[in-house]
Amino acid sequence: MQRAIKKEAGDNYLKRIVVAFLAVIMMTTMLRPQIVQAASAGITIDSKDNKVPTYKAGEKKTWTFTVTNHSGNPMNNVTVTPDLGDNNDVWPFKTEMQSYQKNLGTLGTSENEKSKDVSFDFTQREDVPTSRYTLKFKIAADGQEEAEKQFYVNTTAKPEQKSDNKNNKDDKNTDNNVDNNGKGADSGYDASYQSLDAGGYSNGDAVYSGGVSDGGSDGSAASGNGSVPRVIVTGFSTDPAEVRAGSNFKLTIHLKNTSKMKVSNMLFDLAAPTEGSDEQSTSPAFLPSSGASSIYLDSIAPNGTADISIELNAKADLLQKPYSMDLSMKYEDPNATQVEGSSSISIPVKQDARFEFSDFEISPQSIAVGEEANVMCNLYNLGRIKLYNVKATFEGKNIKKSEVFIGNVESGATGSIDAMLEGKKVSDGPSKVTMTLSYEDESGNISKTTKDLTLEVTEKMDDEAVAADVPEEETQKSFPVIPVVIVVLVIAAVAAVVILKKRKKKQLAEREEEELLDELERSSEDEHQ
């Protein structure tokens, strides 16, 4: 009987060990949701319109954020503080206050109370280049830091001031003989105004270079009528109408004899300005295709007109601007007296824009509807002209239209294109997104080019699916569940072995004691018999 009772007690003891072991495993498993809860963000801050703001030099702009309480408990004394950094390389705005901290008060738990907007007024510094900055904003509640997030902001450098001064040769186009200023008739030029990219001409005075036949000791009269025959330039044209650097063109100059006498034996010589910084590169901006810059014309009748033409080549490394050419004239009046005159023409030269794009960096390659992907690439200006007001527009049937302003890109410089693309509609696999790059030249003419990329837009996951996926991932990263379970199992097994050995030893001792008692009982019974 005693043996049965003791056996039952031992079995119950073993059952208690197993139950305790199972309880340990269950408690370890239950740690997972607690860890996930601790790892989840209690409060968040987001840019209200989800756009990367673009600032200009000296421009004051309001930037609005939305702060949301996700903790499930009220949060008091919530503050938002931008990190100004330690130097100007971190903070692109004017530092007008010691602290830009904003206090939002209390964020509750209801839908109407858990979110609040906060706005900051920033003014971009004048010395900031066209670039992208990463700014840090911190959120605190009751004096304890709760969250931190980084945001992008695009800056635009201060536009360069265009000089109103031209070189000495270009000044001739506006300073001399304003009444006769004009432009090539076939080139579409406006004769009333000359800008940096305008062409034109001006005429000098005609003078005798030889002896005089009659009157005036200063050589200002001749031919018996007291006048000097004068030949002027009335215009010019180029074929093609737009002269581009590195190309050949035909220059035709229109002449008129303004006097009442015939001029003859006319010799014209064209001299283009030299361009270059050293002896090896210095050469005339325009070179005659035939190698000769002189043109001969037999005669021009009184009040008559005539044209002279020459084939020229524009150097490939010319900047986009007008280049002045001096035209010297020598001719004779009816008395064979030599007369000299001069004129100047200004020929605009165009440079073709040349640039390349780097490969797109897309992160992530696939997004759900409502989510965003970051798209980045570089623009390399390989040409000799500056690109003005560069802008990139991203369009596709599965995304929301997005625009990014890059600003001005100097010759030889690099522009950064950084955009956030939001999924709008589910795509059938990777879908095409077209980036359209637009820019202006010095005249304000707009040009465009395109580059394509692919982006996949998937169905948006519901909250339950997201909640089911996130805990496992976060738990695996934040708490080593499996190693803990293994350690617990090992400890429990060792404890069970030790307990069983002690139990077995105790049972053996009890069994020997019982056998001894049985023998004594039998001996006692034999004696009584």
Query: What amino acid is encoded at 286 in this protein?
Result: F
Query: Cβ contacts of residue 251 below 8 Å, gap of 6+?
Result: 236, 237, 238, 309, 310, 311, 312, 347
Domains 42-158 and 170-350 share a fold: yes
Structure token digits, residue 117: 């907007």
The confidence score (pLDDT) of residue 175 equals 38
Q: For strand 294-300 and strand 243-244, is the pairing parallel, antiparallel, or unpaired? A: unpaired
Q: Is the pTM of this model over 0.85?
A: no
Percent of the chain surpassing pLDDT 90: 38
* pLDDT of 470: 53
Distances 220 to 208, 230, 455, 516 between C-alpha atoms, Å? 7, 12, 80, 160
Q: What is the pLDDT of residue 157?
A: 86
Structure tokens at 241: 């109408």
Q: Are 433 and 421 in contact (CB under 8 A)?
A: yes
Report phi then psi at 467, rounded to 5: -65, -30
> What ranges do the domains of the chain cover?
2-39+480-528, 42-158, 170-350, 353-461
Cα dihedral sign for 43, 48, 50, 54?
negative
- pLDDT score recorded for residue 67: 93
Quick one: which of 96, 97, 116, 98 has its CA closest to 106?
Answer: 116
* CATH superfamily, domain at 170-350: Immunoglobulins (2.60.40.10)
pLDDT of residue 169: 41
Domain 353-461: assigned CATH number = 2.60.40.10
pLDDT of residue 71: 85
- Regions of the chain where pLDDT drops below 70: 1-41, 88, 161-198, 208-226, 275-282, 462-481, 524-529
CA distance 209 to 205: 12
How would you write 88-124 as a 3-class SS string? CCCCCECCCCCCCCEEEEEECCCCCCCEEEEEEEEEE
Q: What is the pLDDT of residue 18?
A: 58
Q: Are 393 and 436 in contact (CB under 8 A)?
A: yes
In this structure, whether the domain defined by 42-158 belongs to CATH 3.30.200.20 is answered with no
Rounded (10°) CA dihedral 419, 425, 430, 431:
-80
**CB-CB neighbours of 315 under 10 Å:** 18
Q: How confident is the model over 226-282, as pLDDT tens digits?
A: 578 899 999 999 999 889 888 999 999 999 999 999 999 999 999 887 764 444 456
Q: Alpha-carbon distance 68 to 43, whole Å?
A: 6
> In terms of C-beta density within 10 A (0-12 exposed, 13-18 middle, 19 or more buried), how is residue 274 classed?
exposed
Strand (E) or helix (H) holding 404: strand 402-409
Please tell me the total number of residues recorded for the chain in this structure: 529
Q: Which residue carries 């049965």 as its tokens?
A: 4
**Helix ranges restricted to H, 371-480:** 463-478
Structure confidence by residue, pLDDT tens digits, 488-520: 777 877 777 777 777 777 777 777 777 777 777
Using CA atoms, how far apart are residues 212 and 216, in angstroms rounded to an integer? 8
User: In this structure, what token pair is assigned to residue 299?
Assistant: 């005669």
